[in-house]
Amino acid sequence: MGFKIIWFIKTMFWRLIVGRIGILSYFSDPVFLFGAKRIFIGNRVRIFPQARLETHFKGEIIFEDNISIGQNLHIVSSHEKLVIGKNTTFSANVFVTNVDHEYSELNIHILKQKYLVKTTKIGENSFLGYGVVIQAGTILGKHCIVGSNAVVRGVFPDYCVIVGSPARIVKRYNHDSKLWQRTDSDGQFLNYKE
């Protein structure tokens, strides 16, 4: 019972810091926040220790409801919204961003070159395995399963399994057969006899 009182007190504190935090949501210490007023957290969002959440140049991070985040999460959002869909789970050591750095000017440090902002979104009911990297411009559909250590960039449809570096689709849910079936890297079902 004592830990619930501590969570409640911490949530009251976080309400003064972030843009919004819903009921039954909490951060585990330590946490690093930059641009905290542009971080919006729904109900029942659990964020474990060592999270680093950054918003730059009016970027926003939006956590919808019922999300579980493992330790060492790092999210960077610049110039626009980065949305994590409801009922999503992140394992530990996940990185998500909607910004890349330009690198074409050879005599200018990369951090001094312009930002390349690309819409990035994680669909509802998705699962990101340990060590996943979601690069700028990635759109994951609903119920996407991303394997450990995948490096993901691109648009992926609903109900697919994504693995590798660079990430590719290896399975999709087939609504006709009601089974998860293997696919080619473009997400087309393989025609094979069992």
Report the CATH number at residue 51: 2.160.10.10
Is 188 inside a domain boundary?
Answer: no
Is 142 inside a domain boundary?
Answer: yes
Mean pLDDT is lowest, of 6-10, 31-35, 129-133, 187-191, for 6-10
Residue 192 has a pLDDT of 55
Is 191 inside a domain boundary?
Answer: no
Name the pLDDT band for 162 (thresholds 50, 70, 90). Answer: very high
Residue 14 has a pLDDT of 85
Is 144 inside a domain boundary?
Answer: yes
Tokens of 110: 């990369």
Is 122 inside a domain boundary?
Answer: yes
Q: What is the mean pLDDT of residues 106-131?
A: 96
Q: What is the mean pLDDT of residues 127-154?
A: 98
Is 149 inside a domain boundary?
Answer: yes
Expressed as residue numbers, the domain containing 120 is 2-182
- Count of structural domains within the chain: 1
Q: Label residues 138-174 b or e (16+ Cβ within 10 Å = b).
A: bbbbbbbbbbeebbbbeebebbbbbbeeebbbbbbbe
Q: What is the mean pLDDT of residues 39-45?
A: 97
With beta carbons less than 8 A apart as the criterion, state whether 128 and 143 touch. Answer: no
Tokens of 70: 């493992």
**pLDDT, tens digit (0-9, with 9 covering 90-100), for 58-97:** 999 999 999 999 999 999 999 999 999 999 999 999 999 9
Is 134 inside a domain boundary?
Answer: yes
Residue 29 has a pLDDT of 86
Q: What is the mean pLDDT of the chain?
A: 94
Q: What is the mean pLDDT of residues 50-60?
A: 97
Q: Percentage of the chain with pLDDT > 90?
A: 83
User: Would you call 136 exposed, middle or buried from its count of C-beta atoms within 10 A (0-12, 13-18, 19+)?
Assistant: buried
Is 187 inside a domain boundary?
Answer: no
